[in-house]
Amino acid sequence: MVPHISAETIRRWVPLFVLLGLVLFFTALNPHFFSVRNFARIAISATPALMVAVGVTFVILMGSIDLSMEGTIAVAAVMFALILNRLGGSVVGVGGLAIPGALVVGAALGAINGLIHVKLKIPSFMASLSLGFVGVGLSLLITGGDRILIDDPVFRSLLTVRFGGFPLMTYVALFCLVVAWFIQANTTIGRNFYAIGGGEELARGSGLNVGRLRIIAFVIAGVFYALGAILAVARLGIAETETGRNFMFVSITSVVVGGTALAGGSGGVWNTLIGVLIVNVIGNGMVVIGLPDYFQDGMLGLLVISAVYLSMDRRAFSFVK
Amino acid sequence: MSFIKNYIEQQMLNRRKLLLLSAYGLCGAAFGASVRPGRAAPASRDIKVAWSYRDRTNPYWNGIVSGGEAFVESLGWSSGDLINLINGGSSEKSLSDVKSLLSRYGNKTALAIDPNDMPNCRPVVEAVSQAGAYVSTIWNKTDDLHPWDFGDNYVSHMTWSDVQPSEQTARVLFDAMGGKGGVVHLGGIASNNPAIERLKGLKNALKSYPNIELLAVQAADWDTQKANQVMSGFLTRYGDAIKGVHCASDTMAYGVIEALRAEGTENIPVVSYDGNAQAVQMVAQGKLLATVFTNPHWAGGITASLAYHAAIGSFKPSKEPKEHREFYGPAMVVTTKDAKDFKAKYIDSNPQYNWNDFWALAKGPIQYDT
């Protein structure tokens, strides 16, 4: 007898099948695709985006949205580079303070974002989008439009030193992902994010301080954006306002493609990992098989639509807004 | 918060400079009036000089603005007297900024502008000439639009032909590759004119190097991070077959070089375009083989100067020959041989340009494909 597989189970595993399907597809067209060296390349391009996408996952789980990442990344990257260069230019020794420094910057911007959203009762979409613009402007003011170069070989070893074929930054990102998973699955705060996303009125009625939890989610998101900023700087050795560019599109797309519902309450950081890999495998694979880039954007667009469609049981909705 | 302190200090310094320069400017004006008795000194202070451009996150536009500021300072004004209109890549914003500026200052406006895209040039120029103001444009203009059709108000248009310099960098690259092997090209946004011309230059050079194979062309949208990803894709697809990389801009070359560095293969030669400070530095260090410098500082100053001097009547644009109304800007190939001298002269400092010598660096009239 064929065991019964529910639609829900299929829905949960679809993103992973899509990822495997893409890998098979690209490998069939160009066997070079399936090699450790290429997977390392995909990993390098995916790690900063993974951190950012994991950050925004927490916010999306609550049914809110955060679009401030480009500004937050720009400010965190630039502040990281400034502190590092001011304190001797090496992460070994005092210069290492640049890392907590950048994380504090990310947390602070996240806190402001959350406070504006909760205290002024401005929809998260608008509050975070506006704050993102403020961040871009701020980083421009700090740098005057210049690029800051990071030449510290110890810091750049995140990219240049490899274990098992993958650069150090991959392992750093995986470690942070596990921390995020721990927050999501094993802390009260993490469980409460799901509660808010599943039904805010119910969560409020059960005595949860929803406002406080929302602010915490934005702070956690800000810290992960800062991690993404540090890894993005490690990847290119350049910190500038442009460092944040394109992360909004990539991270939101990844979260959605990974199967986390925009309405909140379902999904999580492992979905996000799959989503980030899907987006980066497409980016890499399109070049590897030699398709022009407009196909790439078009294919991503189609994937987002199908992912959003599959992420929830649409029959439950009578209308969408 | 040292950047705020720096900013305040800078502003105070600017104020001091302004006082000194305006004192100097007054003396100069008095001197000018005294040696040219037949002609009243123009009421130049009434004219507002504005620069309209894309953004401040790009070294190119920062170079343009630094030139514009150097020009207004040469008038004895402070750099803050240059009005900055930033369109952020939107033609609609570019046009509405210009209209607001015109409704405020009317025919007292001297505007230097990159209209962001070609179709936007006409409405900008028409708005300016209706207001009786003066405009000089760079980069974006349709082929059927000419300054001489607008009398004096459309002062000039400068653009750059990137085909020839891009061909030169390609030749430098091919020679470094020993005249054989595979090359990949990372281009700008596919519909942008410079992206098209820079690729064309590469293809022209290919004709005289039969053993060089162009493996792939891919747009990386002038973006460092995207170029980084595209280059790693290329490495998977072609591996060791890639012997050289031709980039349409410096910003993309940075991403390419980091992608190569991640693989531990840093000896593949790379050439680029734009001559940004960081790129010239890299050429001097031998990390980059060549780039092309288009002198945004001079372009920013001279474009503002042309509009300003037409506005105060120093020269009458309609009396000038056509090659003074539409012309190519300068382009210099910087290679490892001359990078150090070049850096000292053009990057670490800016040469003192004579902003009244409008066509000093111009490279002849614009040619149209018919």
pLDDT in tens, B103-128: 999 999 999 999 988 899 999 999 99
* Contact flag B233-A284 (C-beta cutoff 8 Å): yes
Maximal C-alpha separation, chain B: 73
pLDDT at A27: 95
Which 8-state DSSP code applies to residue A206?
T
Q: How far off is chain B from A222, nearest CA to CA, in Å?
A: 20
pLDDT at B45 over 90: no
Low-confidence winner among A2-16, A228-242, B191-205 (lowest mean pLDDT)? A2-16
* Contact flag B254-A238 (C-beta cutoff 8 Å): yes
A29 domain-assigned: no
Please measure the distance between the N-terminal and C-terminal CA atoms of chain B and give it in whole angstroms: 57
On chain A, the residues whose CB falls within 8 A of the CB of B255 are 236
ipTM over 0.95: no
Residue among B218, B225, B261 whose CB faces A293 most closely: B218
pLDDT digit string, tens, across residues A55-114 = 999 999 999 999 999 999 999 999 999 999 999 889 998 999 999 999 999 999 999 999
Q: Among A26, A34, A35, A41, which would you mutate to test the B interface (most chain B Cβ atoms within 10 Å of its Cβ)? A: A41
Whole-number average pLDDT of chain A: 91
On chain A, the residues whose CB falls within 8 A of the CB of B216 are 290
Specify which residues B334 forms β-bridges with: B291
pLDDT digit string, tens, across residues A282-313 = 889 988 988 876 777 787 788 778 777 776 66
* Nearest chain B residue to A156, by CA: B262
A42 domain-assigned: no
On chain B, the residues whose CB falls within 8 A of the CB of A138 are none
* Contact flag B237-A288 (C-beta cutoff 8 Å): yes
pLDDT at B28 over 60: no
Which structure tokens are listed for B171? 């030749």
A36 domain-assigned: no
Burial of B351 (0-12, 13-18, 19+ CB in 10 A): exposed
B65: part of which helix (H) or strand (E)? helix B59-74
pLDDT tier at B42 (50, 70, 90 boundaries)? Answer: very low
Q: Are A54 and A226 in contact (CB under 8 A)?
A: no
A26 domain-assigned: no
pLDDT digit string, tens, across residues B278-313 = 899 999 999 999 999 999 999 999 999 999 999 999
| Residues of chain A with a CB closer than 8 angstroms to some CB in chain B | 30, 32-33, 35, 37-38, 41-42, 44-45, 82, 140-142, 144-147, 149, 159-160, 167, 232, 235-238, 240-242, 245-246, 280, 283-290, 292-293
Q: Among B9, B56, B57, B235, which would you mutate to test the A interface (most chain A Cβ atoms within 10 Å of its Cβ)? A: B57
| Residues of chain B with a CB closer than 8 angstroms to some CB in chain A | 3, 7, 56-59, 61-62, 216, 218-219, 223-226, 228-230, 232-237, 239, 254-255, 258-259, 261-264, 278
pLDDT tier at B20 (50, 70, 90 boundaries)? Answer: low
pLDDT at B32: 44
Which structure tokens are listed for A300? 């991503």
* Contact flag A160-B264 (C-beta cutoff 8 Å): yes
Residue among A236, A280, A293 whose CB faces B219 most closely: A293
The SS3 assignment for A7 reads helix
* Nearest chain A residue to B188, by CA: A293
Residue type for position A275 = G
Residue among A140, A141, A160 whose CB faces B261 most closely: A160
* Nearest chain A residue to B2, by CA: A142
Torsion angles phi and psi, residue A70, rounded to 5:
-65, -40
Average pLDDT over residues A133-162: 92
pLDDT at A299: 79
pLDDT at B24 over 90: no
Between CA B55 and CA A66 the distance in angstroms is: 25
List, in order, residues 6 or more apart from B41 with CB less than 8 Å away. B29, B32, B33
pLDDT at A320: 57
pLDDT tier at A2 (50, 70, 90 boundaries)? Answer: low
* Contact flag B62-A237 (C-beta cutoff 8 Å): no
Q: How many CA atoms lie within 13 A of A72 on its CB side?
A: 36
pLDDT at B3 over 90: no
The SS3 assignment for A305 reads helix
User: How many domains in chain A?
Assistant: 1
On chain A, the residues whose CB falls within 8 A of the CB of B239 are 32
B216: part of which helix (H) or strand (E)? strand B212-219
On chain A, the residues whose CB falls within 8 A of the CB of B230 are 287
Q: Are B232 and B260 in contact (CB under 8 A)?
A: no
Q: How far off is chain B from A287, nearest CA to CA, in Å?
A: 5
Average pLDDT over residues A7-24: 86
Q: Are A267 and A61 in contact (CB under 8 A)?
A: yes
* Contact flag A145-B224 (C-beta cutoff 8 Å): no
Q: Among B225, B287, B347, which would you mutate to test the A interface (most chain A Cβ atoms within 10 Å of its Cβ)? A: B225
* Nearest chain A residue to B55, by CA: A145
Task: Tell which wins on pLDDT, B65 or B189.
Answer: B65
pLDDT at B258 over 60: yes
The dihedral through the CA atoms of A100, A103, A109, A111 has a sign that is: negative
A168 domain-assigned: yes
On chain A, the residues whose CB falls within 8 A of the CB of B61 are 145
Q: How far off is chain B from A218, nearest CA to CA, in Å?
A: 24
A11 domain-assigned: no
A287 domain-assigned: yes
CA distances from B198 to A111, B38, B111 (A): 46, 50, 29
pLDDT digit string, tens, across residues B86-105 = 998 899 999 999 999 999 99
Between CA B6 and CA B54 the distance in angstroms is: 25
What percent of chain B is predicted at pLDDT more than 90? 72
Specify which residues A111 forms β-bridges with: none
pLDDT at A321 over 70: no
Which structure tokens are listed for B186? 């990372």
A35 domain-assigned: no
pLDDT at B5: 61
Between CA B362 and CA B358 the distance in angstroms is: 8
Q: How far off is chain A from B174, nearest CA to CA, in Å?
A: 23
List, in order, residues 6 or more apart from B271 with CB less than 8 Å away. B169, B170, B172, B173, B244, B245, B246, B247, B253, B288, B289, B290, B291
Pairing of strands B332-335, B290-293: antiparallel
The SS3 assignment for B321 reads coil
What percent of chain A is predicted at pLDDT more than 70? 95
On chain B, the residues whose CB falls within 8 A of the CB of A285 are 233
On chain A, the residues whose CB falls within 8 A of the CB of B7 are 141
pLDDT digit string, tens, across residues A213-259 = 999 999 999 999 999 999 999 999 999 998 998 899 999 999 998 98
Average pLDDT over residues A44-50: 95
Q: Structural domains in chain B?
A: 42-160+295-329 (3.40.50.2300), 163-293 (3.40.50.2300)
Torsion angles phi and psi, residue B84, rounded to 5:
-100, 120
Q: How far off is chain B from A12, nearest CA to CA, in Å?
A: 29
Residue among B216, B255, B261 whose CB faces A290 most closely: B216
pLDDT at B206: 96
Whole-number average pLDDT of chain B: 88
Between CA B42 and CA B44 the distance in angstroms is: 5
pLDDT at A88: 87
pLDDT at A1 over 70: no
pLDDT at A137 over 50: yes
What percent of chain B is predicted at pLDDT more than 70? 88
Between CA B318 and CA B325 the distance in angstroms is: 9
Average pLDDT over residues A17-39: 93
Domain that holds residue A107: 48-311
* Nearest chain B residue to A35, by CA: B236
List, in order, residues 6 or more apart from A23 with CB less than 8 Å away. A33, A34, A281
Cross-sheet strand order for the sheet of B48-53: B83-86, B48-53, B109-113, B134-138, B154-159, B326-328
